[in-house]
Structure 1
């Protein structure tokens, strides 16, 4: 179904299953990469968590790896997307608050942290949208 005034070629592109898969892969790509990097450099992942004040670092690093890889797999498989996207969104929220606390930053750092904070907020919105769209694109049982 086309939206009013939407050109047919746009509707064709937006209804493509290839685009649906590619968009979900793009959405979770940073999580996949982050999870794999943490997995293969666990000591670095622990140090990163502790640098942000998240202790014990091994627990937070383990949770991050599990959520980044597991949540991404659920989104990509289009199964339990609400759970995968929700877990990734909550992880992103924790990361935003721990790593991008622009309100507590010096004036020199404030702009960069503010920008990163709102980029992460947009990512959370994308995860919400993929969960909403996933449930609407499946055939009814």
Structure 2
């Protein structure tokens, strides 16, 4: 009994477009978030202020930069480790600020706990990007 992927799965995973589409699925929400914040600067600043980040304009600008530059590096598969690190650290910090379940009760705690650990899953995806990018490029 072989532990390898079935042939159709191997073909799908080896198709070059699959790696790009997976990177796009992982980074798309960040890219969209950065574009939306850029299009609504007052809203981006207000969001930072809501979470207590001061000076709000500086944190909004930094957030936009990370949400745009990180995905571009990952999608271009150049310095993907840097883009993955940027988005992974951003995700960890954002989860700790926005989903601080340890200080909540009831339904709020339940929802924040789920969101927090979903974000940890995204961080795992960014670690995999950093691991796999140089390996994939070496095979190409």
- TM bucket, shorter chain: over 0.9
Aligned to 1:102: 101
Count of residues in correspondence between the two structures:
138
Counterpart-to-counterpart distance in 1, 2:3 and 2:137: 23
State the Cα deviation string for residues 106-131 of structure 1 (Å, max 9, x = none). 32301110000001000010011011
Alignment partner of 1:24 is 2:20: no
Counterpart-to-counterpart distance in 1, 2:47 and 2:4: 49
Residue correspondence of structure 1 range 1-141 to structure 2 within 5 A: 4-139=3-138
Unpaired stretches in structure 2, ≥5 consecutive residues: none
Counterpart-to-counterpart distance in 1, 2:136 and 2:4: 22
Unpaired stretches in structure 1, ≥5 consecutive residues: none
Counterpart-to-counterpart distance in 2, 1:5 and 1:106: 45
Counterpart-to-counterpart distance in 2, 1:130 and 1:30: 16
Counterpart-to-counterpart distance in 1, 2:102 and 2:52: 16
RMSD of aligned alpha carbons? 1.2
Counterpart-to-counterpart distance in 2, 1:5 and 1:128: 23
State the Cα deviation string for residues 26-53 of structure 1 (Å, max 9, x = none). 1001001100011011111111111111
Counterpart-to-counterpart distance in 2, 1:47 and 1:27: 26
Name the SS of the counterpart of 1:138 in structure 2: helix
